[in-house]
């Protein structure tokens, strides 16, 4: 079942923070985050595993709450380059991962000067 | 290092025609997948492979065939194109299921 992302869209000014949520109705083993700019291929951000720690990548970090079956992506001090559509992909089977991901419908983020 | 290469980038087909979308990777990845992306639908998995000779169906496999005779190549065949198959198709590869996946640049397919 497809995870639900919220919000569907967000507009920020440069320097502002944002949180994107990804919720599933199933127990999760891993959550994968990707960003896609218009007309381009999705690009990997990070993977969070069940029982793992919060991950970070420069000013983008994410958490994984197993009990709530959700993950959140945190964008701090946003830059113009952060604009794009953010997708979470979830897998609910042990020992699978990317090859069985179900992606959400995406969150469109626009950062303006 | 080319990464994941998809060809063609654009294609227009008539209803009922068949064609093959090509995908090749030079990273020696075992895992490869095909996705279609439609407006408002996100990425939906068509077929995937976890190694040469091993393929399986994803969420939306009807109307598509795949094979994996080598580690490098994972072609997607449309058997009899339908307008509902108009979409952007992405191929992706990864070292394992829990590592970074690399996507090709996509094939924009229109079926008229």
Locate the chain A residue with the closest alpha carbon to B104: A41
pLDDT single digits (tens) B38-97:
988 889 999 999 999 999 999 999 999 999 999 999 999 999 999 999 999 999 999 988
Chain B residues closer than 8 Å to A31 by CB:
none
What's the pLDDT at A51? 74
Query: What are the distances in angstroms from CA B100 to CA A1, A11, B17?
Result: 22, 28, 35
Which of A64, A107, A65, A47 shows the shortest CA–CA distance to A82?
A: A107
Cβ partners under 8 Å of residue B99, min gap 6: A47, A98
Cβ partners under 8 Å of residue B89, min gap 6: B6, B21, B34, B35, B36, B37, B46, B76, B106, B107, B109
What's the pLDDT at A53? 64
Which of B73, B97, B101, B78 shows the shortest CA–CA distance to B89?
A: B78
Locate the chain B residue with the closest alpha carbon to A46: B100
What's the pLDDT at A94? 66
User: Does residue A105 carry a pLDDT above 70?
Assistant: yes
User: Does residue B9 carry a pLDDT above 80?
Assistant: yes
What's the pLDDT at A35? 96
User: Does residue A95 carry a pLDDT above 80?
Assistant: no
B108 or A58, which is more confident? B108
- Residue B77, min C-alpha distance to chain A (Å): 19
User: Does residue A56 carry a pLDDT above 80?
Assistant: no
What's the pLDDT at A70? 92
Chain A residues closer than 8 Å to B102 by CB:
44
Residues 18-57 of A with CB under 8 A from B: 30, 32, 34, 40-44, 47, 49
User: Does residue A65 carry a pLDDT above 80?
Assistant: yes
Backbone angles phi, psi at A98, to 5 degrees: -55, -40
What's the pLDDT at A92? 79
Chain B residues closer than 8 Å to A42 by CB:
43, 90, 92, 103
Cβ atoms of residues A29 and A94 within 8 Å: yes
User: Does residue A57 carry a pLDDT above 70?
Assistant: no
- Please indicate whether, in this complex, the C-beta atoms of A41 and B45 are within 8 angstroms of each other: no
Interface contacts A/B by beta carbons within 8 Å: 64
Cβ atoms of residues B68 and B52 within 8 Å: yes
Cβ partners under 8 Å of residue A6, min gap 6: A20, A21, A23, A107
For chain B, say whether A106 makes contact (Cβ under 8 Å): yes
pLDDT single digits (tens) B26-41:
999 999 999 999 988 8
Rounded mean pLDDT of A28-55? 88
Locate the chain A residue with the closest alpha carbon to B42: A105
Which residue has 């089977």 as its token pair?
Answer: A93
Rounded mean pLDDT of A36-60? 84
Query: What are the distances in angstroms from CA A68 to CA A82, A87, A89, B91?
Result: 27, 19, 16, 32
């Amino acid at each position: 079942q497809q995870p639900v992302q919220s919000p569907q869209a967000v507009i920020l000014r440069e320097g502002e923070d944002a949180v994107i949520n990804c919720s599933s109705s199933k127990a999760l083993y891993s959550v994968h985050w990707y960003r896609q700019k218009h007309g381009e291929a999705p690009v990997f951000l990070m993977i969070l595993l069940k029982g793992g720690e919060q991950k970070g990548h420069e000013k983008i970090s994410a958490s994984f709450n197993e009990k709530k079956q959700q993950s959140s992506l945190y964008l701090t001090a946003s830059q113009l380059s952060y604009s794009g559509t953010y997708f979470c992909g979830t897998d609910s089977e042990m020992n699978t991962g990317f090859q069985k991901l179900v992606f959400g419908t995406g969150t469109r983020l626009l950062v303006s000067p | 290092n080319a990464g994941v290469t998809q060809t063609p980038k654009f294609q227009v087909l008539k209803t009922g025609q068949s064609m093959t979308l090509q995908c090749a990777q030079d990273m020696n990845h075992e895992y490869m997948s095909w996705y279609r992306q439609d407006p408002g639908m996100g990425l939906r998995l068509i077929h995937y492979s976890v190694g040469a000779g091993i393929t399986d169906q994803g969420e939306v496999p009807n109307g598509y065939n795949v094979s994996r005779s080598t580690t490098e190549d994972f072609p997607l065949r449309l058997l009899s194109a339908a307008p509902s198959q108009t979409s952007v198709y992405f191929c992706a590869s990864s070292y394992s299921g829990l590592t970074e996946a690399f996507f090709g640049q996509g094939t924009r397919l229109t079926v008229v």
